[in-house]
Amino acid sequence: MSESPSRNGQAKLSLPSGEKVGGGIPWKLKEAFASFGSSGPRLFFAPGRINLIGAHLDYNGGSVLPVPIQQGTYAAIALRKDHRIRLKSLDFVEEFDLDGKALPPASQLGWAAYPIGVWLEAREMGHPLMGFDLVLGGDLKRGSGLSSSASLEVVMGLALLECAEQCVDLEELAMLGFRAENGFVGVKCGIMDQFASALGQSGKALYLNCATREHRHVPLGEDLEILVLDTHKPRELVGSEFNLRVEQCHEALAVLRVGTPEIGHLAAFSLEDVERARAELGAVLFKRARHVVTEVDRIERAVGALERGDLEEFGSLVYASHQSCRDDYEVSCPELDFLVEGVCQADGVLGARLTGAGFGGCLIALARPGAFGREEERRLAGAYDRAFGRPLTVQHLQLGAAPHELDLG
């Protein structure tokens, strides 16, 4: 595999024919694209992510620490000179042939709401875009908490802007996806996932302040292995439960701001502020706010620990984050809790927590390299199967790269 720089400074990957990147997805996309009968597509990729710590802080003005992963979303695309939009996905049977000037609402578009939302936002920003032909595919399981939607939005934005020969600013690319998801799609997510996918660098975590959007990359070092454990419990009710948490945080903020209206984010309050307002907040909002302010403290300490190389401390803060997600934010589930406890029992596992929104999907575990091998995995999978009747998949994480174009030659 060779790399050459492209116009926006991103690496352009050239793949020798037959190389099985992404399980051969780029080639499958090219094949599926051929049935449009339009001229050859360009191919792009954007990664998914895990978040090490900073759970549910992005939409509360706190910081997050995501890492891009090797899996993600691929797009084969060609722009058109009319307003027709044709969409296919390797993962859905439903195909779309739409008139870009008379689009149905997002609720009637299923999976297509995501690429269409990005196209609408890009046009809103003034980019000169007509219709397009698109095939999407990826190796991120939907609902697994690894951010398939943000990687789709980022790859879509990159593909559209590159093909229209527009300058690609990575922060703008992330914001394009964020606005598409909050606007047209209607999920009130924060900016973490899109920033992680657009600005991620291999082998580094992105330490992002979601209030100011200031960020820096923090090297993960050689002594840390990240495992991703899939509960095989699909996230349920995630849209509505997720939006409910966002609403509860807005309500808690409204209570806490009385007397200090200049404070705009829940993450800016201290634990003392939250304790003082306990009666006014009521039991549920108190717990939600306590998670946010204690998580702010944990992520600051965790980044310090990671930079000092104090991985024990880092791991224990990650584990404390899970407990807070479970007890105060109530976004865990019995399957995630069981596996977090189980994996942490192995020698050399430093900490574990749910990743993404929660409610099911995946957890991450931080381990000394080689500490959690096949034998530990077999034992935990057996116990998990006995307790929940579900399989367990453990992946030793391959760190991902920045979004890029692929050249299939």
Q: Is 146 in the site for ligand GLA (CB under 6 A)?
A: no
Q: Compute the least distance from the CB of residue 193 to ligand GLA, in Å.
A: 5
DSSP state letters, 91-117 = TEEEEEEEETTSPPPGGGTGGGHHHHH
Q: Compute the least distance from the CB of residue 118 to ligand GLA, in Å.
A: 15
Q: Find the length of the chain.
A: 409
Q: Is 325 in the site for ligand GLA (CB under 6 A)?
A: no
Q: Contact region for ligand GLA (CB under 6 A) — 12-20, 54-62, 291-299, 364-372?
A: 54-62
Our measurement of the distance from residue 347's CA atom to the centroid of its chain's CA atoms, rounded to an integer in Å, reads 29
Cβ proximity of 51 and 66 under 8 Å: yes
Which lies closer to ligand GLA via its Cβ, residue 113 or residue 189?
A: 189
Cα 398 from Cα 104, distance rounded (Å): 39
Q: Is 43 in the site for ligand GLA (CB under 6 A)?
A: no
Residue recorded with tokens 């084969």: 76
> SS3 for 45?
strand
For the chain, the straight-line distance linking the first and the last C-alpha, in angstroms and rounded, comes to 12
Which lies closer to ligand GLA via its Cβ, residue 208 or residue 277?
A: 208
Q: Is 329 in the site for ligand GLA (CB under 6 A)?
A: no
Maximum alpha-carbon separation in the chain: 66
Cβ proximity of 55 and 101 under 8 Å: no
Which lies closer to ligand GLA via its Cβ, residue 49 or residue 86?
A: 49
Residue ranges in 186-245 that form contacts with ligand GLA under rule CB under 6 A = 189-190, 192-193
Cβ proximity of 331 and 357 under 8 Å: yes
Q: Is 59 in the site for ligand GLA (CB under 6 A)?
A: yes
Residue ranges in 110-129 that form contacts with ligand GLA under rule CB under 6 A = none
Interface with ligand GLA (CB under 6 A), residue total: 12
Residue nearest to ligand GLA (CB): 189
Which lies closer to ligand GLA via its Cβ, residue 58 or residue 335?
A: 58
Six-digit token string for 386 = 């006995």
Q: Is 361 in the site for ligand GLA (CB under 6 A)?
A: no
Cα 94 from Cα 109, distance rounded (Å): 10
- β-partners of residue 14 are 2, 407
What number of other Cβ atoms are within 10 A of residue 366's Cβ? Answer: 27
Cα 225 from Cα 395, distance rounded (Å): 11
Considering 58, 133, 139, 193, which one is annotated as catalytic? 193
From the list 44, 48, 56, 72, which residue makes contact with ligand GLA (rule: CB under 6 A)?
A: 56
From the list 29, 58, 177, 206, which residue makes contact with ligand GLA (rule: CB under 6 A)?
A: 58
Residue ranges in 168-197 that form contacts with ligand GLA under rule CB under 6 A = 189-190, 192-193
Q: Compute the least distance from the CB of residue 246 to ligand GLA, in Å.
A: 8
- β-partners of residue 367 are 225, 349
Which lies closer to ligand GLA via its Cβ, residue 56 or residue 86?
A: 56
From the list 266, 303, 357, 394, which residue makes contact with ligand GLA (rule: CB under 6 A)?
A: 357
| SS3 labels along 282-299 | HHHHHHHHHHHHHHHHHH
Q: Is 337 a catalytic residue?
A: no
From the list 356, 360, 361, 400, which residue makes contact with ligand GLA (rule: CB under 6 A)?
A: 356
Interface positions with ligand GLA (CB under 6 A) = 51, 55-56, 58-59, 147, 189-190, 192-193, 356-357
Active site residues: 193
